[in-house]
């Protein structure tokens, strides 16, 4: 909204810095070897320059790492060992599929509805809960804002999850905003609660562990591209670039709490708006 432009002007560069710090920290853990680093670079190139589908890159990257990393093992393994490895891999993937299926069953929603006469919960949740299921897939995070743009709820698609709250507010005031926020984040909490006890067991088979390593590095590459795209819309002039650099320096050097940085960005935006 025009009244909040000064706020977003200062906050968005801070958000970019926070995301960069998160990607940096996660990348140091996910980049375990040269193979994973090369895979991450390849996926970044495929997504940025060739616009390959995100889901294809996530699972394709995981499968590629799984096969390449375990190829010598397959060659040297005895038939019994190979059978056991395959069984363990299948069992781990079955557990993963079971947890994902449970998440799908946990939040059944109708298809996206266009009729504004439909109940508020249907209009909001039909957009936000399916998008919340895709929350872990970088590049798909702009679904609520994109749908909102197509329907005339927003002036243009803003790829930030908090835009779901704003769209909910447009549809139904404060109750709609609260419902949209709940719908966009609830699937992630359900998925984590279901899958968290299974992750250590899933990583026991070396094949599944390699697959998850590949998915991790692929997701970080996709996050990096999306962050670059967000940065193009957020870092629009010298003041916003300075806000982002200062925020990133405070995060990396002094570990400043991100809440204070966002508040500082909002203040910087307010000061800037009063000067121009």
- Digit-coded pLDDT (tens) for 211-246: 999 999 999 999 999 999 999 999 999 999 999 999
Report which secondary-structure segment, H or E, holds 259. Answer: helix 258-275
Chain centroid to Cα 252, Å, comes to 21
pLDDT single digits (tens) 118-146: 666 566 666 565 555 444 444 444 444 44
Between CA 115 and CA 211 the distance in angstroms is 43
Largest CA distance in the chain: 74
pLDDT at 146: 44
Report residue 50: phi and psi, to 5°.
-115, -5
Whole-number pLDDT of residue 204:
83
- Tell which phi-psi region holds residue 199, choosing left (phi > 0), alpha (psi between -120 and 50) or beta: alpha
Identify the pLDDT of residue 259: 94
CA distances from 114 to 110, 126, 185 (A): 12, 10, 22
Q: What is the reported pLDDT for 91?
A: 43
- The structure tokens listed for 69 are 């990393």
- Token reading at 125: 């949740």
H helix intervals, 134-257: 143-150, 163-195, 199-202, 206-234, 238-254
Main-chain dihedrals φ then ψ at residue 210, nearest 5 degrees = -65, -40
Q: What is the DSSP string of 10-67?
A: HHHHHHHHHHHHHHHHHHHHH--SHHHHHHHHHHHHHHHHH---HHHHHHHHHHHHHH
Question: What's the average pLDDT block by block, 10 residues per block, for the chain (276 residues)?
Answer: 82 95 92 93 95 94 94 57 43 42 38 50 60 47 45 50 79 88 88 86 87 95 94 94 96 94 94 88
């Amino acid at each position: 909204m025009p009244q909040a432009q000064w706020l977003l002007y200062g906050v968005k560069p801070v958000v970019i810095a926070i995301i960069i710090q998160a990607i940096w920290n996660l990348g140091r853990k996910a980049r375990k070897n040269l193979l994973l680093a090369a895979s991450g670079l390849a996926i970044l190139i495929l997504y940025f320059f060739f616009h390959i589908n995100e889901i294809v890159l996530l699972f394709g990257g995981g499968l590629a790492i799984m096969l390449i990393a375990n190829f010598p093992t397959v060659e040297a393994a005895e038939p019994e060992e190979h059978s056991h490895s395959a069984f363990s891999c299948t069992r781990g993937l079955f557990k993963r599929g079971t947890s994902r299926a449970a998440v799908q069953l946990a939040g059944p929603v109708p298809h996206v509805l266009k009729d504004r006469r439909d109940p508020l919960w249907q209009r909001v949740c039909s957009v936000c809960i399916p998008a919340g299921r895709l929350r872990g897939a970088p590049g798909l995070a702009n679904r609520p804002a994109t749908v909102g743009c197509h329907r005339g709820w927003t002036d243009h698609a803003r790829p930030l999850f908090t835009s779901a709250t704003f769209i909910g507010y447009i549809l139904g005031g404060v109750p709609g905003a609260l419902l949209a926020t709940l719908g966009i984040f609830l699937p992630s909490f359900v998925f984590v609660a279901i899958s968290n006890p299974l992750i250590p067991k899933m990583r026991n088979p070396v094949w599944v562990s390699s697959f998850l390593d590949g998915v991790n590095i692929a997701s970080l590459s996709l996050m990096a591209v999306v962050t670059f795209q967000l940065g193009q819309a957020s870092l629009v002039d010298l003041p916003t670039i300075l806000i982002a650099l200062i925020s990133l320096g405070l995060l990396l050097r002094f570990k400043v709490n991100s809440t204070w940085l966002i508040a500082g960005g909002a203040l910087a935006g307010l000061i800037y708006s009063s000067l121009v």
